[in-house]
Chains A and B, each alone.
Chain A
Amino acid sequence: AQSVTQPDIHITVSEGASLELRCNYSYGATPYLFWYVQSPGQGLQLLLKYFSGDTLVQGIKGFEAEFKRSQSSFNLRKPSVHWSDAAEYFCAVGLGSAAGNKLTFGGGTRVLVKP
């Protein structure tokens, strides 16, 4: 069965500093990978997605992620963090079946931004 691991539960970063959130997946076939962000009291907003092709994908809000098949990773990065980036970030993998195409989520990483 597929699984997604986000090793860091919490990360604290200073405003203006760079941010990297780790995501490792376990899935037998080509993964369809997503990063979502959840601000307090809000739903899940899609940041970016990877299906195939260029392994470095750009998303909204200045985020990017790099797919590394050899490491089964899809880490999220942002060069310079803003206070508004404080939120919880979820990595997810989508199944390739024709049925529900459900998403399997990692446990999330909560990002705190220091002034």
Chain B
Amino acid sequence: EPEVTQTPSHQVTQMGQEVILRCVPISNHLYFYWYRQILGQKVEFLVSFYNNEISEKSEIFDDQFSVERPDGSNFTLKIRSTKLEDSAMYFCASKPGQGPNQPQHFGDGTRLSIL
């Protein structure tokens, strides 16, 4: 069964540095998402992306965050100047089409640790 793949599985970065988290969604999917889960807290929506633009973003997704689909397969989340509170597990998800009845498929996540 096709999977969403995320790399790296664990990223350690100094505070203030830029980090790029990478995701390869399932190939025929059109909608892409990033979520994060701070240790011990809920999974939180960050951003959704469709047709090469952001369709919705949460208040967490401020100017330090950006997303990009640089080619036909990758979907990236960039954090420009990381803070300690950005430490979390970041999940990428994708789904084939419009409509909330189509479930999102999640990757295994990238654990981001900011020192």
Contact = CB atoms under 8 A, between A and B. Distances in A.
Interface of A: 32, 34, 36, 41-46, 49, 51, 90, 92, 94-108
A42 B107 CA distance: 8
Interface residues of B, number: 31
A105 B43 contact: yes
Contacts, number: 70
A43 B34 CA distance: 13
B106 A43 contact: yes
A41 B10 CA distance: 11
A85 to B, nearest CB: 19
Which 8 pairs of residues, A with B, have the shortest CB-CB distance? A100-B48, A100-B56, A94-B100, A43-B108, A44-B106, A32-B100, A105-B43, A51-B101
Nearest to B57: A100
Contact of A105 (B4, B42, B107): B42
A43 B98 CA distance: 23
Contacts of B42: 105-108
A92 B104 CA distance: 11
Contact of B45 (A96, A102, A106): A102
A49 B56 CA distance: 23
A37 to B, nearest CB: 11
Nearest to A46: B103
